[in-house]
Structure 1
Amino acid sequence: MSELFTISSGDLTARIDPLGAEMVSLRDASGGEWMTDADPQYWTGHAPILFPIVGELVGGTYRFDGQEYALARHGFARKSMFERVDSSPRSVSFLLTDSEATRKVYPFAFSLELLYEIEDRTLRLTATVTNRGDGDMPFSIGFHPGFAWPLPAGGAKEQHRVVFSDHETGPIRRLDDKGLLRAYEDTPIHNRILRPYPGLFHADAMIWDRLSSRMLRFEGETPESDDEDAGEEPAALELAFPDNDMLGIWQKPGANYLCLEPWSGIADPEGFDGDFREKPGIMSLAAGEARSFRLAITIYPAEAGD
């Protein structure tokens, strides 16, 4: 394992692995772990960065200007070694640039910089993609954090819920057994609330490609009490993602994590055979242009009343 970098505010401590520039731990002041336990029986990831694609390609390949390229699900950034650019007690930044190896599967000159910053109980991650080439550069990018389920001192799994900032009445997408997008189906959200349970994920991830919300709250529920003055507050975390317009929620059924994944990009639909620039969710940067995508994670440890 590569050397991990630690940043901390005292209230919150994060550890980041330069392999994938992936956050592997997020602990509160009492030592409670808010990230997945990475049980190898289910999933060994923690919070990979998805670039330059999100999801699966038909046949594992895409076409660009008449050439065909092979690219694995979610792209290569998550398995690439990033260079540490700068660090301080509360921040660290990493950089990945194109190489001979990346250009064989993604023929573009790029840089991907990831900046992690901690303030009080909030971790902020900014991913900046830059086109270092002479022509337009198509790409997608996504965040894939897996959080502890149940949350630290959050009660039983079945007491947890995901609260969307906006009403999400539109349908969701599912994936087939090859990881490709199937037809739409009815949303499991009711009154902005999703109550996750393992059976929801037998058909893999739930995907919103018409998302209105730019903030989520994942929380345990306050246990019922006859004492109206108990003042108990459930454990919770909030995700803010102002620059992403899609979302995936996923787990392997029975695992002790829930992935809440803001995306700007999506898997190929079944049967897609168009050019890479026509792929759903693809964005484009002009030569020399850069674009940033922000994710803020704020934790609220459980608080008991007096």
Structure 2
Amino acid sequence: ESNEDTLSKYPFKFVLQAVYELKNFELKVNYIVKNTDNKKTIFSIGGHPAFNANFKNTSISANQREFDRYTLNGNYLNPSPIEKINFSYAHKISRSDFLNDALILKADKDLTELFLQTNVPDSESDEKQLERSTRIAVAGKNLKFFCIWSKNDEKADFVAIEPWWGVADTINSNQRLENKFGSNSLSAGQKENFEYSMSFL
């Protein structure tokens, strides 16, 4: 929760709870944000789950046919989508996808879901060369964005699928928090839940 140190950098009082629930092959994550201030609070929040992935055979599909895609200019977001990413077929991930950092997708549905299909080492085998196919679903409720990220580096053997309710500052930001693109607000005393899940299929 907020304290003197946070208030010196972020001038809002709040309580944040993170609740994790593991059931069978699904991990649910629930962020509960409560405004304990006597004024409106403005914030962004999101997750950063990443998964071991073999880039020779990794693809991502979705429960939605296409998404608007945003790009980053350094650390800043261009608020005008540059193109649409089509998920009519699984999108095979390559290093070139991350030349400009992340793929940032606009979420349009009440429940947005991305599916990661990859090969990983078979932990049940003594022979390291054996692999098995793994499928993971990451789903978020009322998301604003989904981020797909890895490094443009052969040593990076992971892909992050990140549910976001907020995004980086834009290239044309006026640096006023109340005008920040993609942010959230809560009135005094209000609270809100932000939920996502990971299912290991």
- Short-chain TM bin: 0.7 to 0.9
Pairing 1:201–2:98 present: yes
* 2:35 aligned to which of 125, 131, 148: 131
Match of 1:41 in 2: none
| Number of aligned residue pairs | 185
Query: What pairs up with 1:158-237 in 2 under 5 angstroms?
Result: 158-168=56-66, 170-177=67-74, 179-182=75-78, 183-212=80-109, 214-220=112-118, 234-237=133-136
Structure-2 change in CA distance of 1:277 and 1:210 (3 Å): same
Query: What pairs up with 1:245-284 in 2 under 5 angstroms?
Result: 245-253=144-152, 254=154, 255-284=156-185
Name structure 1 gaps, 5 residues minimum: 1-96, 151-156, 222-232, 301-306
Whole-Å Cα distance in 2 between the matches of residues 117 and 190 of structure 1?
A: 29
Instruction: Please say if residues 48 and 163 of structure 2, whose CA atoms lie closer than 8 Å, have aligned partners that are also in contact.
Output: yes
Query: What pairs up with 1:97-108 in 2 under 5 angstroms?
Result: 97-108=1-12
Indicate the SS of the match to 1:135.
coil
Stretches (4+) displaced over 4 A: none
Indicate the SS of the match to 2:173.
coil
Match of 1:53 in 2: none
What is the TM-score normalised by the length of structure 1?
A: 0.57
Instruction: Please say if residues 71 and 104 of structure 2, whose CA atoms lie closer than 8 Å, have aligned partners that are also in contact.
Output: yes
Whole-Å Cα distance in 2 between the matches of residues 283 and 121 of structure 1?
A: 31
Query: What pairs up with 1:41-80 in 2 under 5 angstroms?
Result: none
Whole-Å Cα distance in 1 between the matches of residues 200 and 93 of structure 2?
A: 19
Whole-Å Cα distance in 1 between the matches of residues 194 and 92 of structure 2?
A: 27
The structural deviation recorded for 1:188 is 3.9
Tell me which amino acid in the other structure corresponds to 2:193.
S
Q: Considering Cα pairs closer than 8 Å and 6+ residues apart, tell me whether 1 or 2 has the greater RCO.
A: 2
Match of 2:195 in 1: 294
Identity %: 24
What is the TM-score normalised by the length of structure 2?
A: 0.85
The structural deviation recorded for 1:190 is 4.1
* 2:142 aligned to which of 238, 243, 246: 243
Whole-Å Cα distance in 1 between the matches of residues 99 and 168 of structure 2?
A: 18
Tell me which amino acid in the other structure corresponds to 1:242.
K
Instruction: Please say if residues 180 and 268 of structure 1, whose CA atoms lie closer than 8 Å, have aligned partners that are also in contact.
Output: yes
Tell me which amino acid in the other structure corresponds to 1:162.
I
- CA RMSD in angstroms comes to 1.8
